[in-house]
Amino acid sequence: MFMLDFINLGSSFKKYFEVMPATTQAHREIAYRIRHRVYCEELGYEPIRADGMEHDEHDPHALHVLIRSVITGDFIGTVRLIRPHPEHMDEPLPLENACADTINRELVDPAKLPRDRIAEVSRLAVLPEYRRRKGEGHSPVTLSDRDFGTPTQPRFPFLTAGLYLGMIALAQSKRIDTLFTLTEPRLARHLGALGVRIRQIGGPIEHRGTRVPSSLHVQGVIDGLSFFVRPLYEVIQQDMAANRTASSLSQTDQL
């Protein structure tokens, strides 16, 4: 990446990627197929499905994000936000069940927060051909010090940043205040390099490796973005809003 591209992250991102909410059934099925490629076929975390789509009981009331290549037009990554079930708001989120004994409720108690203002980050996935480097391939998405290059040859992890910032933009638009996620312990430091502040809220559990429950305050993340990353967020926020409007108009035309 040229230094000028690194300085202008927003304009550079638009050359290569576009982020959008998956609001139609067709787009949600694309997200399910990406997840199947990664979680079922590649990593073996979930069983192979005959229809080639990985989905579960949370998807009907979840919010989904897609990222695609501007150059090829292919969709290459996805992430979802699981919201409490609209008809059973008191039902715990998956993280609340998995980490019931490890969450430090003096830091935060998800059960005491307004249920319509929380969500859980889940099923973050990027197709292997867009993320795999030598010696890697055991994670649905990668982020490491190498993704930022060196002082003389800087680079930026556009795919991972695009999905996380798209997720933040979607949460903001849906008036979600707090996001919960199970993360690798090292991820907090790497996300911090993007300006995404994440806080560990409990002890580790075993879930496809060591994971820790963490939380993100949506407005706090937005307010804390560095001046380098903020133009990138603004571009992604605009993409999300434009695609959401276009999708709404398309669905209206079909009525």
Give the CA diameter of the chain.
55
> Which domain range does residue 133 map to?
3-253
The CA-CA-CA angle for residues 168, 172, 178, to 5°, reads: 75
Rounded Cα–Cα distance for residues 108 and 179 (Å): 12
- Give the pLDDT score at 56: 95
- Give the pLDDT score at 195: 66
The pLDDT of residue 27 is above 90: yes
Three-state DSSP at 210 gives strand
| CATH at 177 | 3.40.630.30
How many alpha carbons lie under 13 Å from residue 132 in its C-beta half-sphere? 11
- Give the pLDDT score at 62: 97
Share of the chain above pLDDT 90, in %: 60
The pLDDT of residue 20 is above 60: yes
Residue type for position 229? V
Residue 106's pLDDT band (cuts 50, 70, 90): very high
Report pLDDT digits (tens) over 63-93.
Answer: 999 999 999 999 999 999 999 998 889 999 9
Computed over every residue of the chain, the mean pLDDT equals 84
Q: Which one is predicted more confidently, 6 or 226?
A: 226
Phi, psi of 123 (to 5 degrees): 55, 45
What would the mean pLDDT of 241-248 be, rounded to a whole number?
70
When divided into structural domains, the chain yields a total of 1
- Give the pLDDT score at 158: 84
Residue 132's pLDDT band (cuts 50, 70, 90): low
- Give the pLDDT score at 178: 97
Residue 179 structure tokens: 């996001």
